[in-house]
Every structure is written in C-alpha cells, then in structure tokens.
Structure 1
Amino acid sequence: MVLASPDDPAPTPVGLVRLLIDDESGRLFCVPRTGGRPGVDLPTITVTDGDTATALNRLTRAVFGQACATTLMGFVRNTVPEGVEYEWPSPVAHFTVHRPASSGALPALDGVWLHPVSDADQLSERHWWPLVAVDHDAATAMCDDLLIAWGLWLDDVDRDRDRIVGSATDALVLGLDSPGLRELAGLEIGVDWGDIDNLVLQAAVELHLPRPTNELALRAELERHARQVLRGEEAPGALTAWAHRRVGHEGPRGLLALVRLDDEYAMLEEVPGYWEIPDRPEQVSALDEVVRSAAAAIVAGETDLSRFMPDRWRDIPRPGASADA
C-alpha cells in the first residue's frame, strides 16, 4: 500500500529511507540500484536499529555532501503474515520517501535525471511510483472528500451510504488504496451500520488520516469553499450561503460571522418595481471583498472569524444562546 502523507514522522517500523530530488522540469535524480539489481532507483539507505532520523541524516550527507532538511512525502507500507520469512520487520514495515525542504539543492554524487513521463518505463515498477504518478492536489482534495463523508457518517449527521461508496470508489480510481477503502467501495445493500463504522475507522487508519468527525468534516468543507472563492471558482456569496445551510445561526461562534454576512446578502436582494436599492452594486461589491478577506483568513488557518462580523449584528446574541455563551 502506498500513501501520500506529509505528516512527519511516518509510522514505524521503517525499513528503508528514500530521497526524492526533482529539478525545475520535474525530472527525478536516480542512482544505480544496489545488490547487482538492474536499473535505477531513488537514493536509498537502510534503517538500522529503528533510527529513521539518523538514517535520513546519513543519506542526505551522502547525496549532498552535507546535512539537509527534508519533509516527508509519503511511504510504502508492506504487510505480511507473522512467521513468514521476510527481510524487513513484520507483520508491518514502512519504506519512506522524503524530499529536500528547499528547492535548488544539487546532488554531489553521480546519477541520472529521469522524467516521470518520458522515462516512466524505467521507474513505474518501483514501489514508490504512485507517490510521483498521483496528482497530489487531487489526492489532498480526495482525502478531504473522504473525511467529509466519513465524519458526517460517524457523527450521525448524514448517514449517506451512497456517498460513502462513491467517495471510496473515486479515491481508488485516483490511486489511493487500502483494504478498508476497497471494502467501502464495494459495500452491498443491507450491510449493518456498525460494520460500516468499523470499516470507516479502519480505512482512516490505513490511509494515515485523522479520526473522522463532524468537526473535521465541517472544517474541510469550509476550507474547500474558501479556496474556491480565492481562486475565483465560486462567488463569495456561495461561501456564506453554504455557511447558512451547514452552520446556521446556532452553529460554532467562530463561524457565525459567515452566516451573518449571508444575512447581509439577503438584505440586498431586490424586487424590481417594488423594492430597489440605488447603490446595490457597490454594496454587494464591498460585501464580496469582506467575504474574500474572510476566505483568506480561513485558508491561513483562522478558526474564529468574529472580526468579520457586520457591525449591525455584533451585539445581537445567537438564537438559543445563553447570556454567557
């Protein structure tokens, strides 16, 4: 199983550490395989005594001539039955792929530069290949889809079996894979909800994802809409309309500003010939800019958006909120 995961450190035990170095054109730096095996591979070192950090330090020194900061790109996870003769830790062993934290560092040893498209025939059988072949932006978005579907399911917000099956199937098509994910993609009608709960939790662990919750699902949806607003793929009002539907006036205090901003849009609705606002375009444009600023704050990681609350709503308590809430 191959997992794209930036969450360092990777799960243990680790058998091998690899270093992925690419240039501006996307070519990968490769060296001859060891042990007399034909072909090339990423620079690799064996982890001894379970000390991944020391092995990675030795590898970067060997490749660059000095220690180099790295980030985790992902890992391969091999699972074998206990008792089977196997040169790596069992029943589970991990083989990590790291990349230099800063671009521009050039290797100090001999090797070849191969492009993952034109030279795929030389690299596509390597276990780490899916980490290069997969669209990482698409994989990140797909993981968000899974967390949303799974979080809504587990917290009884939306027990949508079709969404569970569809998101798992889409993830497999994209290149994500795990035993639990395959079972979710093949769910049959009538499967007990408790069994689905267990499969969801199993797949989350296998894919190195956090435990799905409605709170995580809400955040993932929020950040997705915010990014779409900033990229111009979604109107600012679509973000606030989503907040009104998904969060509501009694939702988390930190997101209430988005709901009230949607109330502001509603107050600017016109009825031609009956209710018209002379400077409506200017007011809508100003409101759009506030929402875009809120979207930028969301993408930057802010969780309390109270500073974007329209003035008219600042001192009005939430419906159903207690005086000290």
Structure 2
Amino acid sequence: MRAADIKPSAAGQEVMPSATDPCESPRVPTFGLGKTFEGGVLDAIDVEPSGEIRLCGWTGDPTAVPDFELLADGVPVPRHEEFRLHRPEVAVLLRSRGAHHGFGVVFRAHASAACNVIEIRLGSRTLAAVRPGVRRIQPHYQHLFDEQQVLHREDIYGFGPPTPEADEHVLALARSLPGPVLDFGCGSGALVRALLAAGVEAEGIELRRPEIVASLRDDVRPFIKLHDGGFPLPYADAQFGAVVCSEVVEHIPEWRTALQELARIAREALITVPDMSAIPALFPHHVVPWHLLESTHVNFFTQRSLHAVLTPLFARIRFSRLGEFQINGTRVFTSLVAECSR
C-alpha cells in the first residue's frame, strides 16, 4: 500500500496520497481507513482509473453488508454489486465458526466523473473522504464489469480496427532509420503519416481488407500499397534503407518467409513483437497482459527465439523493450524490439 498522509477535515477523515516516485509506474490508489462503525470496520477503499471504487472491511455478522453510500465530487455514485470475503483472522478474533466476515462493496462512477474527492457515508455519518489523484481511463472490455450474457471465446479473444495514431515509442525509433522506410503491415498508415510529417521518405504495405480500406485517409492513401498477403513482396532487393514491422509478424503463418523478405528488401529492420516473457513474469500475480488476448496471434516469440531466427538474416541485432508497466512491483513490457542491420 502506498504511504498516505491522513488529516482531519470537516467531512471526516481525509486521506491525501503522498508524492509519487517519478521512476515508479502509477498504481491504483488504495487508502487504509480503519474506520469503525456499529458491527464492523471499514478497512480500505480502492479507486480504479476505470471508475470502479471498492470498499473492503468486515462485520461481526457474516451475512450483513453495510448500506454504504458514496459520493464523487458531491454526486452520488451508483452501488454496483457486493460480495463476501474470506477473513479467517476475523473469525478467530470473534470466535466465530463462519469465516466469511469480510465484505466488498463496489460502486461504479460515471465516465464523466472526475473523482477528485470521494466521500463515504453510512447513514447520517461521514466515515471518510479521500482525494485519490487518479486519472480516469475508460478501459477496453468495459462490458465485462456487468455483462448479463454468458460469453464465449470469440467474445473475449478479439481483434479490432487498425489504430489511427502511431505509437510514439515506435515512431521515435523509426525516425532514426535510414530512408526510404517501408512500414510492413502499416494498418491505417498512421506511422507512414507521422514519418512523412517528420520529413522521412516513407511508404506502407498492408493486406487488402475492408477494414483497412475504410481506415485509410486521403492524405496517406497514395503512399500505401494494398496486396493479397502473398510472397515475395513486390519490391526489389535492398529497395529500402529500412523496414518497420511493428506487431505484425506474430499474425503471419508464413513468419519465416516474411522475415526473409524483410531482410531482402531493406538494409535495416525495426521489428517489434509481443513480449511473451510477461506471461511467466506475472504468473505469481495470476495476471495475463491484456495485449495477449488478441485472437489472430499465431506466433509467439521470446528474445532467444527471435534472435535465433534473425541471426542468419542480419549481421547485427540489438534488443530493447517498449511499453514498461508494473503489476504489484513486477516490471514487465508489452513489446520486444529487435533493431537489425545487414
């Protein structure tokens, strides 16, 4: 739990988060409260960027859930659901045979709510007020908070339209590449657009699919070649100074041929793939990264396996990582990056 400063206020106990470490990834604000009420204790409140707000505590009666009310910036927040929690230490303290003395109460703030101040009430009493300092983020898969239908694999492991904006980290790497630059699997042409705006000679190639055609804007359309996905690629040997292949090769059944083609048509290559090491790294936390739920991934690379397949194609290979984040203090990355040259 992040340290916090607690001070009294007119609204009750007000909790202020301490200054954050600039080298530490943001965490969900969790505030220890320890506020007693008749029949139990309110232990903590979690304020998620998604707007989900959870109260946790315990009651002497293992069947009772207090009728808490929550206000975000003075506006009532709807109560979403409640559940019991296993709290054997409370059962020992109370000499109770029931172990589920703990409770969780979930509230869901509207997307427009800033949640600058969260106030917790029970009856006429204000138990606490917190200033979470959290930036609201509308999550993907938001419907899973309250979906009423039984879902199936195809409902979860999905894919969507190409992103309309270039990844800033990939763009920073691509801008240093020698031109002309080809974006292989360019999607909507976002990276091509950004490179052209930066004065880099660039073009892209992508599969001819309805969602791709619909995503191409007029300003970048002349620089994008659409094809049927076959090999060899319609380019001469060493036609490009560099090729970018960002989050693409994991989708291609003929991945080995694709990599051979990239090495044929360009002197340098910037290749990114999902970093599969995040799976075992996060296993102790029982977490699978969101970006690995993409249904069209057919190839899965580690740094060693990617190095092995690139070594016959390029004389120099340097690895890096993009998309750093932390789960309970474990540092992982979304993408494995290979910078290659012949």
TM range, smaller chain: under 0.3
> Normalized against structure 2, the TM-score is what?
0.26
Higher strand proportion: 2
**Larger RCO, structures 1/2 (Cα 8 Å, 6+ apart):** 1
Higher helix proportion: 1
